[in-house]
């Protein structure tokens, strides 16, 4: 990561996982051979994420389809053998999972010699599980301490900047990513990354990434950290050109913001699980765009919507609620002081509301009990179900419509 960053490059990474050992190994080899500075990914299957390892073993025995790699079911020795001659200093591999209670996954990962993973006590609890937040915080405390106790330095990436993928205003995404980073540090980790997901307005995303980097610099001290950007995590464009256009925008955003790592998506995202070749194509396309942006890109002005000030206030006021970061997070959500819009987890107040304004900016519509300011013009009309669906499809329509615009006006600029 540091070597590529110092050279002015961007590290790109897929979201890829296959159940069978030969396919997973071939996938990693394909990513390693891509014409890009790439990081490998082992994404785990749904059974493993909820610790139903017997069902994962049964699926392997019967040949039933799995949507990822069953790390615990395969076992550490098999996984280590799969990675032999593939993973190394020039090709790190990260386990991605989605588990609120990941201790058995982390044990298997450590035993297999894998030194990087991701998630967090909030970001892998509220969107993905019914586990009480306090239980997830306790579990993640143990997980962080397990990683911190290893002789080899382990890396943990917060998923806090990707809450629900969409319709979460940038200040909350930035605050949650920093808070999870502080939680990791509190439990002894020294190598972390902070995430942010591309949203609906490039200028606002630039502002948010600058706020994230500034807050991390102020709060994380001498920790080894970097920033990772996710290509849009919400309803994805359905046309190939629309899909590549949103990926192009995320790669240019990564370069313009100084982000060190980009998680890519493929045109298959709206329809099915991507193949290895589709993942490699997306990696190489993103790397090409990033190089083009670094050489020939035009500066873009960030918005000035107060993302840094609001995120800093959310971080500071949350930390005041309890003596530890974990306890503060539990208390903040119990009070609605932190509140993820449209998140149905029982420990989330679900009173805060956000909306996409006519310019594409993601703003607060109703803060609930959160100490943030809503747009006074936003609450005049009640939000309907159709209105919510329209907002969720904002980027899908925008980038798919650009394909039609390009057909009708081939000389027009889409950058």
Helix axes 76-83, 21-32, angle to 10 degrees: 40
**In-domain check, residue 388:** no
Alpha-carbon distance of 237 to 267, in angstroms, equals 8
At residue 405, the pLDDT reads 54
Supply 363's token pair: 């703003």
The answer to the question of residue 398 being in a domain is no
3-state SS, residue 410: coil
Is the residue at 49 inside a domain?
A: yes
Q: What pLDDT sits at residue 379?
A: 59
> Would residue 43 count as lying in a domain?
yes
Q: Are strands 362-366 and 40-43 parallel, antiparallel or unpaired?
A: unpaired
User: Which residue in this structure is represented by tokens 């949350």?
Assistant: 318
pLDDT tens-digit map of 316-356: 999 999 999 999 999 999 999 999 999 999 999 999 999 99
6, burial (CB in 10 Å: exposed 0-12, middle 13-18, buried 19+): exposed
Strand partners of residue 197: 230
Q: What is the tens place of the pLDDT at every residue in 43-53?
A: 999 999 999 99
In a domain, 370, yes or no: no
Most confident range (mean pLDDT) of 91-100, 159-168, 239-248, 388-397 is 91-100
| 174 is a domain residue | yes
Instruction: Please check whether residue 148 is in contact with residue 189, taking contact to mean a CB–CB distance below 8 angstroms.
Output: yes
pLDDT band at 411 (very low <50, low <70, confident <90, very high): very low
378-389 confidence digits (pLDDT tens): 656 778 888 888
Reading the block at residue 238, the tokens are: 């359905």
Produce one character per residue of 54-67: b if its CB has 16 or more CB atoms within 10 Å, e if not.
ebbbebbeeeeebe
Q: Are strands 353-356 and 362-366 parallel, antiparallel or unpaired?
A: antiparallel
The model's pLDDT over 263-318, given as tens digits with 9 standing for 90+, comes to 999 988 777 788 999 999 999 999 999 999 999 988 888 999 999 999 999 999 99
CATH number at residue 281: 3.20.20.240
Q: What is the dihedral of CA 20, 24, 30, 32, to 10 degrees?
A: -160
Question: Within a domain: residue 276?
Answer: yes
What SS3 class is residue 262? strand
Domain span including residue 35: 1-296
CB 159 within 8 A of CB 120: yes
| DSSP code for 297 | P
Nearest to 223 by CA among 176, 174, 142, 158: 158
Asked whether residue 414 carries a pLDDT value surpassing 60, the answer given is no
> Distance from CA of residue 325 to its chain's centroid?
21
Q: How many domains does the chain have?
A: 1
Relative orientation angle of helices 170-186 and 133-148, to the nearest 10 degrees: 50
* pLDDT value of residue 381: 72
In a domain, 76, yes or no: yes
Over the stretch 225-246, which tens digit does the pLDDT of each residue have? 999 999 998 888 888 888 899 9
């Amino acid at each position: 990561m540091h070597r590529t960053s110092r050279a002015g490059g961007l590290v790109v990474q897929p979201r890829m996982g296959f159940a069978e050992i030969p396919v997973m190994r071939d996938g990693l080899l394909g990513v390693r051979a891509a014409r890009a500075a790439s990081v490998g990914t082992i994404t785990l299957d749904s059974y493993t994420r909820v610790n139903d390892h017997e069902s994962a073993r049964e699926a392997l025995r019967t040949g039933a389809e799995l949507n990822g790699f069953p790390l615990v079911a395969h076992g550490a020795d098999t996984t280590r053998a799969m990675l032999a001659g593939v993973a190394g200093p020039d090709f790190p591999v990260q386990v991605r999972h989605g588990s609120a209670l990941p201790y058995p996954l982390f044990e298997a990962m450590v035993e297999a010699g894998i030194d990087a993973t991701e998630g967090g006590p909030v970001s892998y609890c509220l969107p993905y599980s019914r586990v009480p937040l306090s239980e997830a915080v306790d579990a993640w405390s143990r997980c962080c301490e397990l990683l911190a106790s290893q002789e080899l330095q382990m890396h943990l990436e917060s998923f806090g900047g990707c809450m629900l993928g969409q319709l979460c205003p940038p200040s909350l995404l930035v605050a949650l990513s920093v808070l999870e980073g502080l939680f990791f540090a509190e439990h002894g980790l020294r190598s972390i990354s902070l995430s942010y997901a591309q949203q609906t307005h490039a200028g606002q995303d630039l502002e948010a990434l600058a706020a994230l980097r500034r807050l991390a610099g102020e709060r994380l001290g001498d920790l080894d950290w970097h920033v990772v950007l996710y290509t849009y995590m919400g309803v994805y464009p359905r046309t190939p050109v629309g899909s590549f256009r949103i990926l192009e925008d995320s790669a240019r955003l990564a370069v313009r913001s100084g982000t060190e790592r980009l998680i890519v998506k493929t045109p298959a995202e709206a329809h099915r699980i991507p193949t290895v070749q589709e993942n490699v194509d997306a990696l190489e396309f993103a790397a090409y765009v990033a190089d083009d942006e670094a050489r020939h890109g035009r500066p873009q002005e960030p918005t000035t919507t107060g993302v840094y000030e609001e995120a800093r206030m959310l971080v500071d006021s949350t930390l005041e609620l309890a003596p530890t970061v974990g306890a503060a997070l539990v208390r903040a959500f119990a009070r609605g002081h932190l509140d993820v819009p449209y998140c149905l987890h029982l420990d989330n107040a679900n009173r805060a509301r956000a909306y996409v304004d006519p310019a594409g900016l993601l703003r607060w519509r109703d803060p609930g009990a959160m100490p943030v300011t809503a747009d006074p013009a936003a609450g005049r009309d009640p939000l309907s179900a159709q209105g919510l669906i329209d907002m969720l499809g904002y980027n899908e329509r925008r980038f798919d419509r650009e394909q039609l615009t390009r057909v009708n006006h081939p000389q027009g600029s889409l950058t």
